[in-house]
Structure 1
Amino acid sequence: MSPTVAIVTDSTAYLPPEQVARHGITVVPLTVVLDGRALLDGTGETARRLTRALERRQAVTTSRPGPEVFAEAYREAARAGAEGIVSVHLSSEISGTHDAAVVAARTAPVPVRVVDTGLIAMALGFCVLAAAGAAAAGADADQAAAEARKRADAARAYFYVDTLEHLRRGGRIGTARALLGSALAVKPLLELTDGRIELREKVRTASRAIARLEELAVEHAGSGPVDVAVHHLAAGERAAQLAERLGQRLPGAAELHVSEVGAVLGAHTGPGLLGAVVVPR
Structure 2
Amino acid sequence: MNEVHHRRASDQSPNVAIVTDAGCDTPRIERAHDAWTVVPASVILDGREIVDDGESSRELVVAAIEADATIIEPSTEAWATAFDRHQNAERVYSLHPAASLSDGIQRARAAAGDDPRIQVVESRAASIAVGLIGVLLARRIASGATVPQLDAYVSALAQHAHVFVVPDHFDPRANQRELTSRLLAGKPMMTLTDGRTGRSHRLRSRRATIAAIERYFDTHAPHEGNLHLAIGHADAAGAVDPFLDIIVRLRPEATVELVGRLGPSIVHGVGARCVGLAWVSSPTRS
Please classify the TM superposition score into its range, dividing by the shorter chain length. Answer: 0.7 to 0.9
Task: Kindly indicate which of the two structures has a greater share of residues assigned to helix.
Answer: 1
Is 2:44 the counterpart of 1:43? no
Measure, in 2, the Cα distance between the counterparts of 1:144 and 1:186.
43
Tell me the residue number matched to 1:7: 18
Q: Which one has more relative contact order, counting CA pairs under 8 Å at least 6 apart?
A: 2
SS at 2:239 equivalent: helix
**Aligned partners of 1:26 and 1:73 also within 8 Å:** yes
Distance 1:64 1:14 in 2: 13
After TM superposition, give the deviation of residue 269 of structure 1 in Å.
1.7
| CA pair 278-83 structure 1, distance change in 2 beyond 3 A | closer
The answer to whether the aligner puts 1:191 opposite 2:197 as a matched pair is: no
Task: Tell me, in whole angstroms, the C-alpha distance in 1 between the residues paired with 2:161 and 2:29.
Answer: 22
Maintained 8 Å contact 2:128/2:260: no
Cα distance in structure 2, aligned partners of 1:98 and 1:146:
19
String of CA shifts for 1:211-243, please: whole Å, max 9, x gaps: 321342244142543112222223322232111
TM-score relative to the length of structure 2: 0.77
Percent identity of paired positions between Structure 1 and Structure 2: 28
Q: Return 5+ residue gaps in structure 1 as ranges.
A: 163-184
In structure 1, how many angstroms separate the alpha carbons of the residues matched to 2:135 and 2:64?
32
Output the aligned Cα RMSD: 2.8
Moved more, 246-255 or 199-208: 199-208
Q: Distance in 2 between matches of 1:72 and 1:53?
A: 27
Determine helix, strand or coil for the equivalent of 2:256: strand
Partner of 1:241 in structure 2?
Answer: 242
Q: Tell me how far 1:256 sits from its aligned partner.
A: 5.0
Relative distance call for 1:19 and 1:233 in structure 2 (3 A) is closer
Residue identity opposite 2:188 in structure 1: P
Shift of 1:209: 2.6
Match of 1:127 in 2: 133
Q: Please state if 1:155 is matched with 2:161.
A: yes
Q: Which residue of 1 aligns with 2:86?
A: 77
**Superposition deviation, residue 245 in structure 1:** 3.0
Residue number in structure 1 paired with 2:180: none
Amino acid at match of 2:189: L
